[in-house]
Chain A
Amino acid sequence: MTVSSASTRITYREAVKQAIREALLSDPRTFLMGEDVGRYGGCFAVSKGLLAEFGEERIRDTPLSESAFVGAGIGAAMGGMRPIVEIMTVNFSLLAADQIVNTAATVCHMSGGQFAVPVVIRMATGAGRQLAAQHSHSLEAWYAHVPGLRVVVPATIDDARGMLKPALASADPVLIFEPASLYNMEGELTEAARHADLSTARVHRAGRDVSLITYGASLWRCATAADELAAKGVDAEIIDLRSLRPLDDATILASVRRTRRAVIVDEGWRSGGISAEIAMRIVEQGFYDLDAPIARVCTEEVPLPYPKHLEDAALPNPARIVATVQRMFSHAD
């Protein structure tokens, strides 16, 4: 990997692009395929310039048919390639849900292990850019429900840079969800990018009083909330899940055992969401360590609104996180 030892400031978008470029350079079996990834440079400009560098064989614009090109990627993976398939957003991935859920996730099992499906499917997820209800939802938890898939959500520059390599190395299909609101985020690229894996959660900030368990764009909402809480004397720990399938129970439970309080912050909806799964695992494995009921901060149960103020109101935000944590400590009868 070509991460320089001196850390550098880059955008999340640039980190993803560097990762793709490195993959293309290091493995001739790898190619990038998706809508507008070539001439247009990717709908979020992630692949800008790659067509000129790598040519049409390896940077492939596809027709507007998610089912067709995701299926083609799965087939290529089964045939020995290491494709990176880009879907514009998770919302459109539903058009390829059959390929992902019924094919990619099952082939290894149904072939008795004869076929692996080492495909990587990248897609943007989440809200915050006023793209309205058909472009803003966070449906990654749906895929995290499915055995046979790996689901990761890089929230940091390091993970955006580092997760693609192990994803391509995995014999399982890996879905990488890139929070669309983070593409412009700048941050330090550090050595940690070299050691990114697909299965562990990470303590983003250590704290004593409460565990904020989150992933994706909500990581940064939690970071802001933790600063506010610190000013109020509450020392919050933040767990960046990184992977939604598998969930890193050990890191989650170790944190909750330290703090004895858990707030799950999830940009997905609350009902039937990954937050419920996490809470249940905490209850199953850590009930006797809890000193307060588990709480959740999720997106309001509405299709994401277009107007800025309504979109903001629907999403988890630092104020709601702070208020939720404060309620855990308050005596209100």
Chain B
Amino acid sequence: MRIEYRMPALGADMDYGTVVEWHVQPGSRFKRGDVVAVVETDKGAIDVEIFEEGVVAQLLVQPGTKVPVGTPLALIEVEGLAPSPALAGEGGGEGSSPSPALAGEGGGEGSFPSPALARERVPAGRVRAPDSSARVRISPAARIRAKELGVDISTLTGSGPDGAVTRDDVERSAKGMPSPPPSPSKLGEGVEPSPPPSPSKLGEGAEPSPPPSPSKLGEGEKKTMRDAIAASMSRSKREIPHYYLSLTADVTHAVDWLAAHNAAVPVTERLLFAALLVKAVALACRHEKGFSGFYRDGRYEEAPAVHVGVAVAIRGGGLVAPAILDTAIKPLPTLMQEFRDIVARARAGRLKASELAAPTIILTSLGDSPVESVFPIIQPPQVAIVGAGAVLPRPWVCDGQLVVRQLCTLSLGADHRVTDGRLGAQFLGRIARLVAAPDSPEWSAT
């Protein structure tokens, strides 16, 4: 049957997206997981995947067009979905107009602008038949209040039952305050476990940021990324009681080991010190609990798998932290390959939404700079971030002798609600031990 493929919400704070290019044309076959389009968002260009199998019938949005989340982008023929009433009767025809689905959902929305109707909180790229779930789940009182205050309800994240937008959410938004974590603290114990993590990424908690003005791409997009970083970091400093630890490690052996390894392999397979750091952080997370996970609704949950995010500075300003998935179980060469790929794509603005959403802990390495140590700020709802300064030759006492060694200062910013300094010290100590000896049994034991 024929359904609409809509502009996905690539994160809770995304209101608009610009189709930069199509990877499919009318008649193209696609399967689950295919990248069908590139969409420019506040966080850069993102490859948008599709989760169905079928054929493109018609493209509805031309490249360069900025549209609200939920806007039909294309008509696609897929198999195995029940016919939707909104489109029933169109049969296998040529699918002339995208409007019936929206019109069908508009009942009762009355005077509200259509972006509210179009809004869908669905995972990236997910395709669904038009149904009533496209309506914003909002309480009657909140709807009235939003009208009074001129708040666009499609920009709100609900904290009420089943994610409904409540009056408080509207007022908070009107005051320019970030949404609270779902379910207020008043819930106390005995409440159902918090919902599965929503995408955690830069800009979470940046709900009130206004939809980007329809200016041309470029400066405006940079500014919205800056806004997103501002919101996330402000929230972090507001909510998370950080504690910081630092430790200087003698990594001479690791540097030598890398040099020996790199001498024996082609240039394309050379390892960077940063790859050791990424892997060491991931391995340490498997042993020390309380650093790789999420703090939500007043409780911490350890993430089942470790996905280390790598902070990547964007040229001309900005920062993203895409994840290398399942970091702990990947061999170093694979990690290195993915590391290169992800940094390159981050700088090109071509990250996938899933990569931005995934990190369970972040590594920020300033190894390319003369900086010796970094005091990193946690990206909520994560609970820890590991920093690494440059590897530099420095005087060091070794066996009672003053010698020159390659030193690297590692640091940890961690959430005191979840762990204390002693655990943090164990965690950071383990990372240092791992990084210092990449050929030790600890690396292979896992």
A231 to B189, CA, bound (A): 11
Closest residue of chain A to B138, judged by CB? A291
Contact A332 B141 (CB under 8 A): no
A330 to B191, CA, bound (A): 7
Q: Which of B144, B168, B182 contacts A331 (CB 8 A)?
A: B182
Q: B160 contacts which chain A residues (CB < 8 A)?
A: 291-292, 329, 331
Closest residue of chain A to B121, judged by CB? A333
Interface majority SS (helix, strand, loop, mixed), chain A: loop
Interface residue B164 (Cβ < 8 Å from any Cβ of A): yes
Interface residue B186 (Cβ < 8 Å from any Cβ of A): yes
A331 to B296, CA, bound (A): 12
Contact A328 B141 (CB under 8 A): no
Contact A326 B187 (CB under 8 A): yes
Q: Which of A231, A234, A288, A331 contacts B161 (CB 8 A)?
A: A331
Contact B191 A328 (CB under 8 A): no
Contact B162 A291 (CB under 8 A): no
Q: Which of B144, B184, B189, B195 contacts A332 (CB 8 A)?
A: B195
Q: A231 contacts which chain B residues (CB < 8 A)?
A: 188
Contact A291 B141 (CB under 8 A): yes
Q: B161 contacts which chain A residues (CB < 8 A)?
A: 292-293, 327-332
**Interface residues of A toward B: which range?**
20 to 34
Interface majority SS (helix, strand, loop, mixed), chain B: loop
Interface residue A260 (Cβ < 8 Å from any Cβ of B): yes
A260 to B185, CA, bound (A): 18
B183, chain A: closest CB distance, angstroms: 4
Contact A232 B195 (CB under 8 A): no
Interface residue A289 (Cβ < 8 Å from any Cβ of B): yes
B290, chain A: closest CB distance, angstroms: 24
Interface residue B248 (Cβ < 8 Å from any Cβ of A): no
Contact residues, B178-213 vs A (CB, 8 A): 182-192, 194-195
Interface residue B134 (Cβ < 8 Å from any Cβ of A): no
Q: B162 contacts which chain A residues (CB < 8 A)?
A: 331-333
> With A233-B188, A288-B141 as given contacts, are A331 and B183 in contact (CB-CB < 8 Å)?
yes
Contact residues, A274-294 vs B (CB, 8 A): 287-293
Interface residue B241 (Cβ < 8 Å from any Cβ of A): no
Q: Which of B141, B143, B167, B187 contacts A232 (CB 8 A)?
A: B187
Contact A288 B185 (CB under 8 A): no
A291 to B142, CA, bound (A): 6
Interface residue B220 (Cβ < 8 Å from any Cβ of A): no
A273, chain B: closest CB distance, angstroms: 23
Interface residue B373 (Cβ < 8 Å from any Cβ of A): no
Contact A233 B141 (CB under 8 A): no
Contact B187 A329 (CB under 8 A): yes
A333 to B162, CA, bound (A): 5
In the complex, 20 of the A-B residue pairs with CB atoms within 8 angstroms, ordered by the A residue number, are A232-B186, A232-B189, A234-B186, A288-B143, A291-B139, A291-B166, A292-B160, A292-B161, A323-B190, A326-B191, A328-B161, A329-B160, A329-B161, A329-B186, A330-B192, A331-B161, A331-B195, A332-B192, A333-B162, A333-B195
Across the A-B interface, give the 9 residue pairs with the lowest CB-CB distance, nearest first.
Answer: A331-B182, A233-B186, A232-B188, A331-B183, A291-B139, A291-B141, A288-B140, A333-B163, A291-B167
